[in-house]
Structure 1
Amino acid sequence: MALNLEKTVKDWIDADPNGDGLTAYLEVPADRPQRFVTIERVGGRELEYSSRPTIAVQVWAETRWQAAQLATGQVLPRLLDLDLLDSIAAVTVESVIDFPDPGPPPQPRYQITIQLDAATQ
Structure 2
Amino acid sequence: MSINLEKTVKDWIDTDPDGDGLTAYLEVPADRPKRLVTIERVGGNENEYSSHPTIAVQAWAESRWQAAQLATSQVLPRLLDLDLLDPIAAVSVESVADFPDPGPPPQPRYQITIQLDAATQ
Q: Same fold (TM over 0.5)?
A: yes
The CA RMSD measured in Å over matched residues stands at 0.4
| C-alpha displacement of 1:118 | 0.2
- C-alpha distance in 1 between matches for 2:54 and 2:82: 14
Paired position in structure 1 for 2:119: 119
Q: Which runs of 5+ in 2 are unaligned?
A: none
Q: How many residues align?
A: 121
The sequence identity of aligned pairs, in percent, is 88
Paired position in structure 2 for 1:98: 98
Paired position in structure 1 for 2:82: 82
Does residue 1:59 correspond to 2:27, yes or no? no
Q: Which runs of 5+ in 1 are unaligned?
A: none
With structure 2 as the length reference, what TM-score do the two structures score? Answer: 0.99
Task: Give deviations 1:42-69, integer Å, cap 9, x for gaps.
Answer: 0000000000000000000000000000
- C-alpha distance in 2 between matches for 1:29 and 1:66: 19
TM superposition outliers: structure 1 runs of 4+ over 2 Å: none
- C-alpha distance in 2 between matches for 1:89 and 1:82: 9
| C-alpha displacement of 1:86 | 1.4
- C-alpha distance in 1 between matches for 2:92 and 2:81: 11
